[in-house]
Structure 1
Amino acid sequence: MSKIYDVIVLGAGPAGLAAGLYAGRSRLSVLIIEKGQDGGQIAITDEIENYPGQIVEGESGPSLIARMTAQAEKFGAERVADTITEVSLEGEVKVLKSAKAEYQGRNVIIATGAHARPIGCKGEAEYMGKGVSYCATCDANFFEDFEVYVVGGGDSAVEEAMYLTKFARKVTIIHRRNELRAAKSIQEKAFKNEKIEFMWDSVVEEVGGDDILQWMKVKNVKTGEVTTVEADEEDGMFGVFGFIGTIPNNKPFEGIIDMDERGYIKTDEDMHTNIPGVYAAGDVRVKSLRQVVTAAADGAIAAVQVERSMSDYF
């Protein structure tokens, strides 16, 4: 492509869409590149109740993102569906390449987000989509009136476990510690839910079955005892949902942009990375809280910083 954009935004989650909105309102030429569906992780969240000022009772991730997408497009953000595999970020014009095209921009906002961390047990890859899942919203209906297990103890794990109770007859949370890490308000709801049970101090070591998930081995990390959990004979299977954290989507930038030991991009409070004209926003960067509201704020800050730099430029 011959056009040189004022800013290219990588990712169309809350951070990327907020960046596109703010950049567009500043009359900057902006291109948003997204390889999958808009929204990132929030697109698979069934219910949102902590986004400030939300106007819809029982707001879902997809409905919130749909409005964000429409806002960004209203203010002129162009869109491309593509996967960036190679970047050249030095100099006045940044170059981003995919297998099918090349994109140029004076500034880049990296808002590529993060993806679910695997459970880490034997057989996990073989049974993905056959009983192992990382998205309750996507797959809960497949387990209506079945038993399911949720691995994790943070906000996402407990919230998704509560969502799964709408479908499954019983949900068991498996957590490697003896207490949850989720916010107290979320814990309180889970403990009151009669469909939720807990397996404390435990990790999943292996899953298996005859083509579909029918058994798993769970180890108590304190006693070393291994318990085999088997599917009910009438059900013939059960589900395991993993919610144990995220891994940043940073591949094209490894060895180019400064990152922490886990691969999250380092920025200052104004979203600047170590490379001039390159910013990072949302879940892909080092931060203490990864929520929709903080991602959107990151995107807005990054876009405003671009606008200010462009004002200096001209």
Structure 2
Amino acid sequence: MVKIYDIVIIGGGPAGLSAGLYGSRAKLDVLVIEKAKFGGQTTTTAELENYPGSIPDCTGPALSKRMHEQAEEFGTEFVKDEVVSVDFSGDIKFINGKDAQYQGRSVIITTGAEPRLAGFGEEMEFRARGVSYCATCDADFFEGLDVAVIGGGDSAIDEAIYLTKFAETVTVIHRRDALRAAKSLQERAFNNPKIKFIWDTVPVTAYGDEILEGLEVKNVKTGELSKLEVNGVFVFVGLDPITEAFKGQVELDESGYIPTDVEMKTNVPGVFAAGDVRVTPLRQVITAAADGAISAISAEKYITEKEANLVQA
């Protein structure tokens, strides 16, 4: 007989682990389903200095491990599986994984969003060793150093401006001859003496010994190859929400993110979303954890109200 959980959490990053902790502390039966590493993208962060209260030299893997342990100590169950489809149409929600089917009275979606790769050689090899996808997370590691930003949209230029607070120089590499960012951002960037631009250019490969030392780049019009010596590369060519399994089951915006209200409710009763997967102005460990806590409390309230209605009926 398949167990029906009070809360099934899809995704084991900071939002999912936080939701598991809060749900289990509320004496609910909670299951967290994660297809890869518990901790999500946090596990790829070598150092984590901007999480309030973290110990000195805190790492992403260490924080993720402790979050996992805390939730487990309060009774959260964990399973490794990849969710391929769901059915949220009834009071009991069905979650179909590659290995098994799971059922819950409520569901919290915390599958997150993954940075879109720029696609240059050695990109993944130098991830967390010079290649980053989050200036807010990693900018202070490049104090007084030279960095590059790949992209030309709002996020890329906004992050380039932010990086100038730390880096000696910031070189924006853009495949076109004009930025796509808002005019106000462009003006700020063009007027910033620390920001340089390389137009009509794409990264070809990263190079270095253990840590990043530079990029080989190519002019898309002339085909000319050249080297750019930088200590860091920040990639901002977009994020992709991990929501493929939920299409047709919960409302998504035009970019694939899940809209919620302040209680993390989606448009489907009993289904909540938290963390990077939802529409939110900031995607950080701290905001994901907060979302997870709110979603668990909201799920508890939903379950309690459903049970009360059944008794009255």
Pair in the same fold by TM > 0.5: yes
Matched, 1:295 2:294: no
Rounded Cα–Cα distance in structure 2 between residues aligned with 1:217 and 1:293: 38
Q: 1:72 to 1:283 in 2, by over 3 A?
A: same
Is 1:180–1:187's contact at 8 Å kept on the other side of the alignment?
A: no
Amino acid at match of 2:30: V
Other-structure match for 2:168: 191
Q: 1:151 to 1:198 in 2, by over 3 A?
A: farther
Matched, 1:25 2:16: no
Is 1:214–1:230's contact at 8 Å kept on the other side of the alignment?
A: yes
- SS of aligned partner of 1:263: coil
Other-structure match for 1:235: none
- SS of aligned partner of 1:304: helix
Is 2:252–2:258's contact at 8 Å kept on the other side of the alignment?
A: yes
Deviation at 1:132, TM superposition (A): 2.4
Amino acid at match of 2:165: E
Which one of 222, 225, 234 corresponds to residue 228 of structure 1? Answer: 225
Which one of 279, 282, 293 corresponds to residue 286 of structure 1? Answer: 279
Deviations 1:142-193 (Å, cap 9, x if unpaired)?
xxxxxx7x68795357467x39x7xxxx754445379942387753221289
Q: 1:239 to 1:64 in 2, by over 3 A?
A: closer
Rounded Cα–Cα distance in structure 2 between residues aligned with 1:153 and 1:27: 36
Deviation at 1:230, TM superposition (A): 4.8
Other-structure match for 1:246: 239
Which one of 109, 127, 130 corresponds to residue 136 of structure 1? Answer: 127
Other-structure match for 1:73: 72
Which one of 123, 131, 152 corresponds to residue 176 of structure 1? Answer: 152
Q: 1:173 to 1:254 in 2, by over 3 A?
A: same
Rounded Cα–Cα distance in structure 2 between residues aligned with 1:46 and 1:94: 37
Is 1:14–1:292's contact at 8 Å kept on the other side of the alignment?
A: yes
Q: 1:199 to 1:288 in 2, by over 3 A?
A: same
Other-structure match for 1:309: 302
Rounded Cα–Cα distance in structure 2 between residues aligned with 1:135 and 1:299: 30
Q: 1:104 to 1:151 in 2, by over 3 A?
A: closer
Deviation at 1:265, TM superposition (A): 0.3
Q: 1:249 to 1:174 in 2, by over 3 A?
A: closer
- SS of aligned partner of 1:70: helix
Gaps of 5+ in 2: 171-193, 207-213, 308-313
Q: 1:152 to 1:136 in 2, by over 3 A?
A: closer
Other-structure match for 1:145: none
Rounded Cα–Cα distance in structure 2 between residues aligned with 1:78 and 1:272: 23
Q: 1:152 to 1:82 in 2, by over 3 A?
A: closer
Deviation at 1:308, TM superposition (A): 1.2
Rounded Cα–Cα distance in structure 2 between residues aligned with 1:11 and 1:296: 13
Q: 1:239 to 1:18 in 2, by over 3 A?
A: closer
Q: TM-score, normalised by structure 1?
A: 0.75
Query: Equivalences for 1:1-314 in 2 at 5 Å?
Result: 2-54=2-54, 56-119=55-118, 124=119, 130-133=121-124, 136-137=127-128, 140=129, 154-155=135-136, 158=139, 162=142, 171-176=147-152, 180-182=157-159, 186-191=163-168, 199-202=196-199, 204-205=201-202, 207=204, 215-218=216-219, 227-230=224-227, 242-314=235-307
CA RMSD of aligned residues (A): 3.4
Number of residue-to-residue matches in the alignment: 274
- SS of aligned partner of 1:19: helix
Is 1:95–1:102's contact at 8 Å kept on the other side of the alignment?
A: yes
Rounded Cα–Cα distance in structure 1 between residues aligned with 2:133 and 2:8: 35
